[in-house]
Amino acid sequence: MHTSAEWLHQHGIRHVECLFSDITGSARGKILPASSVASGSELRFSQVGLMQSITGDCLQELVPELDPDMVLYPDYSTLRRLPWCREPTAMLIHDCHHEDGSLVEFAPRNVLRRVLERYRAQGLTPVVAPEMEFYLFARRQGLDEAPQAPACYGKASDSLRQPYALDRLHDLEAVLEDIRHGCELLGIGADTLLQEVGCGQLEINLQHGDALALADQAFLFKRMVRQAASRHGLEACFMAKPLANDAGSAMHIHQSLIHADSQRNAFSQDNGQPAARFAHYIGGLQRYLPDALLLLAPYVNSYRRLAPFTAAPINVEWGHDNRTCGLRVPHSGPQARRVENRLPGVDANPYLALATTLACGLLGMQQELEPSAPLDCSAYGRPYAFARTQLEAIERLAGNQALAELLGPHFVASYCQLKLSEWQAFNQTVTAWEYRHLLGQA
């Protein structure tokens, strides 16, 4: 009998959500009676469940021709009670395996596992801390409506924009209390909370820790916040750029490495000075992040966020405590030496975002890449370094063999094809701008 059986019994759990992350970062899976989970019943799922586009299309052509089952292996360390269900219900994250026990290469959690295994082989353990930015909007009546600030902010939301104001947090006290409670039940190490620049925009930082555990937490955090917002007549938004004239939402990722045996910071020497691998890690981020952008900016909307003078990067310059750079090294002691990747949007799948930034750093260490000199002025005066459209980002990721080898060739090829289908679907849509400016004049 699994130890989980005792936990399920103690908490009176009747049903369990057996879930995994698809490519978009959405939860897919099945709900089982708690008795089935306690008995260790084998669970299977169609592989196409992983290959869902953001429009809800199943990309059948991206899985094996017969679409065979994958076997879902539960990770019992993730067993948690769900805070939003009326009757006692738990959730359990699963890993996706083939019939022979090997990992399904294009499952996002497995992509991260693949990268972490490369670090483990070198005696290194990544430590990460994502910062989650998001908006709380009034609930819309229709899917095509533009978002509006919560009613508690008043109607003239533009005049009520108050970056970093504590009073704004008190306006949202009820929903924030539900979010705090949800974090506690789901084991999400929520730390700092602040009102961000946008009207209705918040940031909650997650405590640093093991990369796979933090990816799980970020995955669950987005789902939990949406549920909490809905209970208060609000809509949580994790788009990268939901408002044209307001701040975008990022998922900045602080990252460091520790020696697996001694737990010392591997970016620092014994004398406290930066180790050579710290420079090489930054060099890898600089070399490979521009080609990996599609994994950190996954949608057509994502590219609107990456604009100068908006607290979002336009290149991969790096500097000490320089927030205009794509890569920021915060002031810290030797044991806390780290680099903050400011490129990922909060719309990115957290498993893929973490796998990507860690992969770029690993390639830099393997190839002993040297970074540019640290920047002590604004990076916004330097050239734009990224793809400007989703299509260009697809082409750049598809052409980088080093990233494909590390993240998984099958995964990268399938991911690029899926994103191409989304780009094609978007380009079939005639926008409101085109009707307004072209319909009667062009």
Question: Residue 52, Cβ neighbours under 10 Å: how many?
Answer: 17
The partner residues of 378 in beta bridges, in order of sequence, read none
Q: H-type helices in 297-400, by residue range?
A: 302-305, 350-367, 390-398
Topology of domain 117-433, CATH: Creatine Kinase; Chain A, domain 2 (3.30.590)
- d(CA 388, CA 315) in angstroms, rounded, equals 12
Asked whether this chain's domains 3-104 and 117-433 adopt the same fold, the reply is: no
Q: Both ends of the chain: CA-CA distance in Å?
A: 71
DSSP 18-70: EEEE-TTS-EEEEEEEHHHHHTT--EEEEGGGT-B-TTS-B-GGGS-TT--EE
- d(CA 161, CA 156) in angstroms, rounded, equals 9
Topology of domain 3-104, CATH: Ubiquitin-like (UB roll) (3.10.20)
Asked whether the predicted pLDDT for residue 157 surpasses 90, the reply is no
The pLDDT, as a whole number, for residue 143 is: 80
The pLDDT, as a whole number, for residue 152 is: 66
Question: Residue 424, Cβ neighbours under 10 Å: how many?
Answer: 10
Query: Which is more confidently placed, 68 or 155?
Result: 68
* pLDDT-derived band at 1, boundaries 50, 70, 90: very low
- d(CA 342, CA 222) in angstroms, rounded, equals 19
% of the chain with per-residue pLDDT over 70 = 96
The pLDDT, as a whole number, for residue 158 is: 47
Q: Which range among 11-25, 143-157, 237-251, 307-321 shows the weakest confidence by mean pLDDT?
A: 143-157
Which residues have CB under 8 Å from 183's CB, separation 6+? 189, 190, 221, 224
% of the chain with per-residue pLDDT over 90 = 78
The pLDDT, as a whole number, for residue 67 is: 78
The pLDDT, as a whole number, for residue 385 is: 96
The pLDDT, as a whole number, for residue 407 is: 98
Mean pLDDT within 278-303: 98
DSSP 255-281: EEEEETTT--BTTB-TTSSBPHHHHHH
| Spatial CA neighbour of 408 closest among 69, 96, 58 | 96
124 DSSP assignment: E
The partner residues of 235 in beta bridges, in order of sequence, read 137
| Domain residue limits, the chain | 3-104, 117-433
Asked whether the predicted pLDDT for residue 156 surpasses 60, the reply is no
DSSP 70-82: EEEEE-GGG-EE-
The pLDDT, as a whole number, for residue 150 is: 77
Helix, strand, or coil (residue 327):
strand
* pTM exceeds 0.85, yes or no: yes
Inter-residue contact 172 to 152 (CB < 8 Å): yes
Helix, strand, or coil (residue 93):
strand
The pLDDT, as a whole number, for residue 165 is: 64
- d(CA 58, CA 298) in angstroms, rounded, equals 17
Mean pLDDT within 69-96: 95
| Spatial CA neighbour of 152 closest among 165, 142, 167, 134 | 167
Which residues have CB under 8 Å from 398's CB, separation 6+? 412, 413, 416
197 DSSP assignment: S
- d(CA 223, CA 182) in angstroms, rounded, equals 10
Q: Which range among 7-16, 158-167, 176-185, 391-400 shows the weakest confidence by mean pLDDT?
A: 158-167
DSSP 129-165: EEEEEEEEEEPPSSTTSPP---GGG-S-GGGG--TT-
* pLDDT-derived band at 32, boundaries 50, 70, 90: very high
* pLDDT-derived band at 172, boundaries 50, 70, 90: confident
Mean pLDDT within 300-326: 95
The pLDDT, as a whole number, for residue 2 is: 54
Q: What average pLDDT does the structure give for the chain?
A: 92
- The two tokens of residue 157 are 């939301």
Mean pLDDT within 120-130: 98
Asked whether the predicted pLDDT for residue 159 surpasses 70, the reply is no
